[in-house]
C-alpha cells in the first residue's frame, strides 16, 4: 500500500493553489493532472483546498485526473468510493471533516462528499511509459514519486509533463526533489525555496 495521507505537504499545496487560482479564472474546463496519486488522499486534498477558494460554478467545471501505476484496481475503487477510515481523518485541519466528509453507513469510515468526489477521475497510467495522458493541463502535481526513478527516467518523465502542460501551466513536486539542470530551460522556478515551476514555451529541444 502506498504511503500517503490527507493534507500531506500542506505548505507545498498552499503555494500551488495560490499560484494556480489566477490561471483558473475564466477557463471553461480547467484540468489538473495528479500523477502518482495513490489512493486519492492527495487529489481529494487538492480538490478540497480549491473548493474552499473557488466559486461553485467554476469549481464544478474543474477536473483532476488522478493517475497511478497500481494495476489491481484497488486504488481506482478507493478513489471512486471516496471512503476512508476515521483514524486517517483524525488530523485534518479544523473544520474540514465536518464540511467535506460525511458518515456513510460503513462503521468507522467517512466518505468524501459528492461535490468533491465528482471532480476527481482515476485512470491507470505508468509514468515510465513516457506517454502523457493528454495535454492542456493547468497543473501537473507529482509528489513523492520521482525519487523512485533513475536520473534519466526522471528527466524523460519531466519532459512528458512539460508536453502535457498548457502554456504557462504549473508543475509542482515535493520540497526535496530538485529540477535536473538539463531541464532548467523548460521550467521557470516560481518560489526560491520550493519546487513549483511554470512551463517555459519553446524550450522543448533543450538537452
Ligand X SMILES: C[S@@+](CC[C@H](N)C(=O)[O-])C[C@H]1O[C@@H](n2cnc3c(N)ncnc32)[C@H](O)[C@@H]1O
Which residue, 69 or 166, has its beta carbon nearer to ligand X?
Answer: 69
State which of positions 59-88 bind ligand X (CB under 6 A): 68-70
Residue 132 touching ligand X (CB under 6 A): no
Cα dihedral 173, 3, 84, 126 in deg (nearest 10): 60
Out of 14, 18, 60, 126, name the contact with ligand X by CB under 6 A. Answer: 126
Out of 20, 51, 116, 145, name the contact with ligand X by CB under 6 A. Answer: 145
Residues binding ligand X: what is the number (CB under 6 A)? 18
Out of 53, 99, 148, 189, name the contact with ligand X by CB under 6 A. Answer: 148
Say if residues 158 and 140 touch (Cβ distance below 8 Å).
no
Nearest-approach distance from CB 105 to ligand X, in angstroms: 27
Stretch that binds ligand X, among 24-32, 53-61, 103-111, 126-134 (CB under 6 A): 126-134
Residue 36 touching ligand X (CB under 6 A): yes
Which residue, 61 or 191, has its beta carbon nearer to ligand X?
Answer: 191
Which residue, 58 or 155, has its beta carbon nearer to ligand X?
Answer: 155
Which residue, 148 or 189, has its beta carbon nearer to ligand X?
Answer: 148
SS (H, E, C) the chain: CCCCCCCCCHHHHHHHHHHHHHHHCCCCCCEEEEECCCCCHHHHHHHHHHHCCCCHHHHHCCEEEEEECCCCCHHHHHHHHCEEEHHHHCCCCCCHHHHHEEECCCCCEEEECHHHHCCEEEEECCHHHCCCCCCCEEEEECCCCHHHCCHHHHHHHHHHHHHHEEEEEEEECCCCCCCCHHHCCCEEECCCCCCEEEECCCCCCCC
Nearest-approach distance from CB 161 to ligand X, in angstroms: 12
The residues that touch ligand X, with contacts defined as CB under 6 A, are 2-4, 8, 36-38, 42, 68-70, 126-128, 143-145, 148
Amino acid at each position: 500500500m502506498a504511503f500517503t495521507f490527507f493534507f500531506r505537504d500542506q505548505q507545498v499545496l498552499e503555494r500551488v493553489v495560490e499560484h494556480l487560482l489566477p490561471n483558473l479564472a475564466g477557463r471553461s474546463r480547467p484540468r489538473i493532472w495528479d500523477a502518482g496519486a495513490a489512493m486519492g488522499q492527495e487529489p481529494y486534498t487538492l480538490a478540497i483546498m480549491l473548493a474552499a477558494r473557488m466559486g461553485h460554478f467554476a469549481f464544478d467545471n474543474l477536473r483532476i485526473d488522478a493517475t497511478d501505476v497500481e494495476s489491481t484496481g484497488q486504488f481506482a475503487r478507493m478513489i471512486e468510493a471516496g471512503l476512508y477510515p476515521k483514524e486517517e481523518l483524525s488530523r485534518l485541519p479544523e473544520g474540514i471533516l465536518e464540511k467535506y466528509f460525511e458518515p456513510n453507513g460503513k462503521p468507522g469510515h467517512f466518505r468524501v462528499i459528492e461535490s468533491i468526489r465528482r471532480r476527481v477521475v482515476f485512470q491507470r497510467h505508468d509514468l515510465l511509459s513516457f506517454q502523457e495522458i493528454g495535454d492542456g493541463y493547468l497543473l501537473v502535481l507529482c509528489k513523492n514519486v520521482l525519487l523512485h526513478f533513475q536520473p534519466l527516467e526522471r528527466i524523460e518523465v519531466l519532459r512528458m509533463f512539460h508536453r502535457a502542460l498548457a502554456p504557462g501551466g504549473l508543475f509542482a513536486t515535493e520540497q526535496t526533489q530538485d529540477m535536473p539542470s538539463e531541464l532548467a530551460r523548460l521550467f521557470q522556478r516560481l518560489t526560491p525555496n520550493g519546487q513549483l515551476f511554470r512551463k517555459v514555451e519553446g524550450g522543448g529541444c533543450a538537452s
